Chains A and B, each alone.
Chain A
């Protein structure tokens, strides 16, 4: 049994085909990351899975329940936090939880237990009586998560949950997610941040409404056959322009004080060659070395391939 299983899922808006036949399987207990360029169809796919939106065709099963036929039942098994989750700013933390519990018809005993547990887990206990509007961005995000989980769903669906959250709050948010994961929850989330994708057990890369690559982050990185040559220098842009003229070093990416050059193997001959090219243009090199491709490099290379 899968936590989520879709087949032939399609959804169009006017002339745009947002989701064009998605077959997706998410194992129970997975932390499943959805990545891809803006406009790839990630949000639409999540809305279809959560039942907020109805597909034009295809099927969806949530823990083996037909989500299109038994919408309410499937809905109870999942919690969905959209990109702009609306809390009631004029209600307190506790009142917000009560409100979302009443929407989900959570019984009083169960509500109290789950409320106390979630408040503790999200470190919101000291702020129970505070108005949601008076919380910091990171705290609002945690309250949103708590409201999403008030009916104890086994599947949590999050659309770019950490956009706009600072690094300290982001780290805390992820620690909370990881703890839920270790209690057996299944999590599906979309993210523009590759370091977050790296934490997932499985990643699906979405582009133009389909999922051309679904894999573990570790294995996805091996999709790039070569390696990255890192050069630390003072004039990265000029170096990129000079190197891009050669046939071998076409893929040059600037990262502040250094550049990454894609090469087919970690051959020190490349270093000597590049130093020579840059030296001819009077570009001083501080340091060189090889580094493994990052998930971001894979992301860009998939898009380049699809464009070609």
Chain B
């Protein structure tokens, strides 16, 4: 299988080492704890393990079989066949972090291209090589802001309309820093995030908003960014990359740091991971950035090449003084996004974003006509919107499931004030007919 040694080879190797048996290599292990019997099921052949895993896989009923109106941070998009063909290449997938640039130019150039695409998509100057996901990238933006003010500004204010899981992760990361105060409140969950938070003061390091926000709404944050800067703080936008194919960039609004979840860029839903965090910023803040960066240079014959650069920020050099502990990040997912963005290109990115926009607005219009349902559309939205339902969302989703639909996210699960509110996501993979059928099923479910 995966261990190639024959018995003869093993014996020859033991003799070269000067021991008799494999067991003799483990005498440093305390005897009473040596060679425990592991209570695990016996090993399977490849054929058997595939059968077992197929059983588990088919025990699920997924967004592949059902028509999916569920988003809330993870989105079903079409993934072109060329994406998987390229990222499955062992030359990419079985390499590691490009510590040796002479034999890692493939990975390095791909990351360099990823950095460029992310910077251009977000309207920023530079991007790093990736983070674990959108939430940890957001947390790292908080860490950057903290370091930028050398810990002297300790308040980080999150807009109420940020994905609640992101708030939790940011708290896990940031609450360890001395005096950091994370404000995640908001009296009204639908409070307009364009308004300057009343808590802002000269002790504020960072203000964070989401775009489109957790409820799918889109805002122009230009004025807010200006006011945040007037108080001396930094401004971060958590952005959805699909939306940026069409919409004004956070860079153009004045963001200092733009982060987000790259899953919509060709990465399968895969029950929540592996996904892709991205982080882009301005040139002025590049030395405060966490994680890996690839830079262009030349070799000793003058040929263009790429290397990991500014490594003095990182844990393997600076240890306890590093900007972050991040080491392994999401290399292959960054490559996935790079291939996806290259394939879609200028026109494809815009087209997919527009399809999402159109279909979501059609869905909102159709659902808004069902008696008892109200679409909260006072603000413009992108591809996700909130529906106030006449009854419990879990109940509705149960009925929708029977009709072949994965219903929207039950907002009551994350905020009791939002009981009976469903967050509906619509992407390019959904057809008009499916939207019409969904509306019929929703109407029937409400009357059951």
The judgment on whether A and B are partners is: no
Give B residues with C-beta under 8 Å from A. none
